[in-house]
Amino acid sequence: MKKNVYLQTPVVMQFIDWLSANLDNGTLAHSYTNRRTGNTWSCSSLHDAYVQYHWPHSELPRLSRPKGSTFAANAATLNALRQNLQQALYPPPNDAAACTAAMDVMTWGGVRAGNARWLNANELDLANLLIDIRDALNANDTGHPRLRDSDLRFNAGMTKVYSLICDSLAIYDSRVAAALGWIVVKFCQAMELPQIPMELRFPWAPAKTAPGHPNPKQRNPSVAALVFPALKAGPLHAEWNLKASWLLEAALTSPNAQTSQFKQVGSQTEQLRALEAALFMIGYDLAGGSTSSTAASPSPAVPNQPTTAVSPVTEEPGPVWYDCYTLGKRVSFHYRITANGIEIDNDKAFDIGDINAMLNSLWNHFGYNPFPLANSATKVRNGTAPMGMGTAYFQATDRNPPETSKLAAVLEELDIIIPFNPAPAKGMHWTLNTHLLGLNQPQDQVNISSILGEFLALADED
């Protein structure tokens, strides 16, 4: 569907008129309890939600920017990220620079998990891939062949990248999707619509939830017969990301919005980012006064099955599992981060102490230099394997060296180890991320506890 066709649909036009007239008033007031701090958050309007924007993103050393949580601080960071991405895509395209810039976006958004490995594995020709998707999105047609490709990489991480290289594209992640659906419910109730119109059925996705959390965040905006579908990565995500962006932009440019405080934010692009920020804040949790009706009953989860961040079921899950794969043989697996370490597919756990011991062994042996995987079970055990991750792991834990194939993939996604290309010898090589690990002197010791803790904190923020 083309942009002009979608925006001229009667119910969409009606919704835009209604939304644009309620940007600054109490119609869209909301409150909830922040799951991490226990404090109550509330907003008196969409604009007030923007004013209270808060995202404590991770430090980005390559940008030489300190951490910041306000809208202004994040806007400055995003502007720097946008410049790096666009420079990487400017002729001639630079794959390595594009990969680095996209990785920084993932770090900013707290979505390295499930994305970093893919970026590294697809670095070759990544710049042209991003250019192709950018041009397809800018064509403003959900039926564009490139956006219908089943191999399209489009998820909560990539929407952040695309939003920085495309024209007027809002980020469409689980928080924005939740808030937009919540607003649609308000509209349907105001108009006494018995069902959600097809043009407004914005798919939702579950929140990332810390392991064992007794009270997960609600992101499903469905209420009684007003039911939204689940969001799936790929073409479906791209389609609704475009529709959401078209709708939000139209609301801001509507005659009803000309006296809105959003118009004082800056350029049209900055206004769209501010409205996106408002939705992001409201969408943290729809529980706590989002509607007066009872939400649709969720379907029971399938026990003992990992739930991925990009393939949500219809209820809020427990601990989030991330898709990953080993780079050598591309063996697929799932992992999750816990307070104690890293778990793999419900049957393997890497304790923080064991990981620290392995990394300290690598630091003591290699320092700033690259190290190999070196995890042959036979060679490590009989002492003929070179020093590397598998050898260090076996020496530290007396456990099976090949287990490090999956551990390496996860540590790479978390930016704890960095791929070293071109490799100095046959096979994959990495270096320790000494900046992230705080390694400045040979006597310094690795401790990833704070890194995993920050990951869990960001997951709870999201």
**Which distant-in-sequence residues (6+ apart) come within 8 Å of 451 by Cβ?**
414, 416, 436, 437
Distance from C-alpha of 43 to C-alpha of 279, rounded to nearest angstrom: 11
Per-residue pLDDT at 316: 40
Cβ burial 419-458 (10 Å sphere, 16+ → b, else e): beeeeeeeebbbbbbeebbebeeeeeebebeebbeebbeb
Q: Which pLDDT value is given to residue 279? A: 98
Q: Which of 282, 313, 346 is the last residue of a domain?
A: 282
Q: In terms of domains, do 19 and 89 share one?
A: yes
Query: Which pLDDT value is given to residue 64?
Result: 67
In a domain? residue 292: no
In whole angstroms, what is the distance from residue 156 CA to residue 114 CA?
A: 10
From residue 140, how far is each of 136, 168, 246, 255 by CA, in Å? 7, 10, 9, 23
Residue 219 CB-density burial (10 A; 0-12 exposed, 13-18 middle, 19+ buried): buried
> Does residue 223 share a domain with residue 95?
yes
**392-444 pLDDT, tens digit each:** 999 999 999 999 999 999 999 999 999 998 888 988 999 999 988 999 999 99
Cis peptide, bond prior to residue 298, ω within 30 of zero: no
Residues of the chain whose pLDDT is less than 50? Answer: 289-318
Q: What's the confidence (pLDDT) of residue 307? A: 34
263 and 358 fall within a common domain: no
Average pLDDT of the chain to the nearest whole number = 89
> How far apart, in whole angstroms, are the C-alpha atoms of residue 339 and residue 324?
20
Give CA separation, 53 vs 19, 29, 94, 275, 412, in Å.
20, 14, 34, 10, 30
Residue 13: inside a domain: yes
Closest CA to 172 of 272, 254, 262, 265: 272
Q: List 337's β-bridge partners, or say none.
A: 342
Q: Output the CA angle 368-374-375, nearest 5 degrees.
A: 130
- Three-state DSSP at 414 gives coil
Q: Could you tell me which residues come within 8 angstroms of residue 198 by beta carbon, excluding any fewer than 6 positions away? A: none
Q: Is residue 304 part of a domain?
A: no
Q: What is the number of other CB atoms lying within 10 angstroms of the CB of residue 15? A: 22
Counted domains in the chain: 2
Q: Are residues 232 and 116 in the same domain?
A: yes
Residue 265 is assigned to a structural domain of this protein = yes
Do 403 and 271 belong to one domain? no
Give the pLDDT confidence of 300-353 residue by residue, as tens digits. 333 333 333 333 333 344 457 888 888 778 888 999 998 899 999 978 899 999
Domain final residue, candidates 282, 310, 342: 282
Instruction: Please report, as a single letter, which amino acid is at residue 300.
Output: P
Task: Tell me what pLDDT residue 214 has.
Answer: 64
Helices (H) and strands (E) in the chain, counts: 17, 9
Tokens 């909560």 belong to residue: 156
Domain assignment present for residue 68? The answer is yes
- Contact predicate 120/96, CB 8 Å: no
Q: Are 417 and 437 in contact (CB under 8 A)?
A: no
Q: Are residues 250 and 329 in the same domain?
A: no
Instruction: Tell whether 198 and 81 lie within a shared domain.
Output: yes
- State which amino acid sits at residue 361: S
- Residues 285 and 32: their CA atoms lie apart, in Å, by 6
Whether residues 343 and 218 fall in one domain: no
Same structural domain, 271 and 327: no
| 372: in domain | yes
Residue 68 carries which side chain, given as an amino acid letter? G
Q: Which domain holds residue 65?
A: 3-282
> Do 294 and 223 touch, CB atoms closer than 8 A?
yes
The pair of structure tokens assigned to 338 is 């816990």
Last residue of a domain, one of 254, 282, 310: 282
pLDDT at residue 210, rounded to an integer? 53
Phi, psi of 380 (to 5 degrees): -65, -45
Q: Is the Cβ–Cβ distance between 127 and 84 less than 8 Å?
A: no
Coil vs helix vs strand at 298: coil
Is 305 a member of any domain? no
Q: Which residues contact 460 (CB under 8 A, 6 or more apart)?
A: 35, 36, 208, 209, 210, 213
Same domain, 265 and 411: no
Residue 10 lies in a domain: yes
> Residue 62 has what pLDDT?
76
Residues 231 and 330 in one domain: no
What is the DSSP-derived secondary structure letter of residue 251?
H
276 and 332 part of one domain: no
